Chains A and B, each alone.
Chain A
């Protein structure tokens, strides 16, 4: 894993946290505005069913512009296209975190309502939807999942992690090669069930490739430094995460076998 910040990222940000519209998106908006509103909707729908889809950010800019002009129906139709675009993503996320139908419905309703309100809001803060649609959408979706305590926030250790004994049998003999990219997709559902701290430590180690700790206290690229915890706590997080994932894998295998036998 290349643990360097690419130059392209640095150059895009004019300051540490300031962003501008993508020129490609602005070009798409310009193209759309050449048409009358009704013919623009036909054009957008045609593009929507082709390979050269209009970008979500362009749809946001157009929706906000038409809402400001008072063309509520056009604005509504444009946000409707955005809703259609995010539907599958929400469905997959709901499946990943194994939401019950009742919770899933609530998450979907809250998220889509927020999408409407934010995209059509006149505040300047809502402009970030024009610049990075999926960042805004995913940030909100994750915040809703967190609010529903779906992201494993409930976990409170009975003994401080620093004082726990590390279970070395789990960490030294992993059941998988966690670095295998194809495995990531398979274990995503297992990772979704982990408490937040365990998951972060696990993903920093096995996905981002960060070392647990460093002999050099100035080294910031370690899990301990990033999470602001001791080396021992990191080892405990990792050990427990792997233990839970191994149990999850066993239960999944049992389910698979049962399904194979009944199917």
Chain B
């Protein structure tokens, strides 16, 4: 992580200037020292100095019209860059490698469940697609996708597919049947808290499931 990064003179000059200011130098001292070191960037440094002085001008802080303009444009840019809606029912991409990752997660289910702060049985239901996807807290899906290293969109499309047979269905000689999908909160309350579970995380998911409209990314 801490490798050296070579930058051009303009970046280097600005970095020196800002570092001096961070260290408590007055703006005139910082400007003089950085121009001395990088004379070819004198104009850029002067403009940067002006930018910084302009920022601390208390009068400008009260320019509410400009602040609201900036905020509304910022909101527009942020929205336009938002990841595509994950709850789009039309998503039906194949998930070959995802299935492998899910399998891996199932093998490591105890450890994975502990990391996520959910009971093992809930993780198993989730991976067998026996939970109503819309009721699963978006943050939990984020954590799972991060844990198994897949894009949230792919995880969501995987969970939307029809439920799978769980191993518990293969008992005796009766024909195994695919279970009904359950709301996340109902499943959590039904299974109760496991012994080694992170209590804080468990309560967090319960609270989220109770309070939030679990749209991912909202």
Contact = CB atoms under 8 A, between A and B. Distances in A.
Interface string B51-90: 1011111001101001101110110111001110010000
Contacts of A112: 73-74, 77-78
B37 A184 contact: no
Contact of B51 (A38, A83, A138, A208): A138
B73 A135 contact: no
B171 interface: no
Chain B interface SS verdict (over half):
helix
Given A127-B5, A181-B26, A101 B69 contact: yes
Which of B1, B39, B50 lies at the interface centre, i.e. has the most chain A CB atoms within 10 A of its CB?
B50
A26 B54 contact: no
Contact of B28 (A142, A199, A208, A226): A208
B90 to A, nearest CB: 18
A116 B79 CA distance: 12
A93 B77 contact: no
Nearest to A71: B146
Contacts of A208: 28, 31-32, 35
B76 A109 contact: yes
Contacts of A4: 33, 36
Contacts of A8: 19, 23
Interface string A183-227: 011001101100011011001100111100000000011000111
A70 B116 CA distance: 18
Nearest to A14: B4
Contacts of A66: 146
Interface in B27-54: 27-29, 31-37, 39, 42-44, 46-51, 53-54
A52 interface: no
A2 B33 CA distance: 7
Contact of B152 (A73, A135, A209, A226): A73
Interface in B1-26: 1-12, 14-16, 18-20, 23, 25-26
A104 B66 contact: yes
A108 B69 contact: yes
Nearest to A208: B32
Contacts of B170: none
B78 A21 contact: no
A226 B35 contact: yes
Contacts of A88: 55, 61, 67, 70
Contact of A135 (B4, B15, B39, B56): B15
22 contacts: A1-B28, A5-B16, A5-B33, A12-B19, A19-B15, A36-B115, A38-B139, A71-B142, A87-B74, A91-B63, A113-B77, A132-B15, A135-B18, A138-B14, A139-B44, A139-B48, A188-B50, A192-B50, A197-B43, A203-B50, A207-B46, A209-B32
Interface of B: 1-12, 14-16, 18-20, 23, 25-29, 31-37, 39, 42-44, 46-51, 53-57, 60-61, 63, 66-67, 69-71, 73-74, 76-78, 81-83, 86, 115-117, 138-140, 142-143, 145-147, 149-153, 201, 204, 216-217
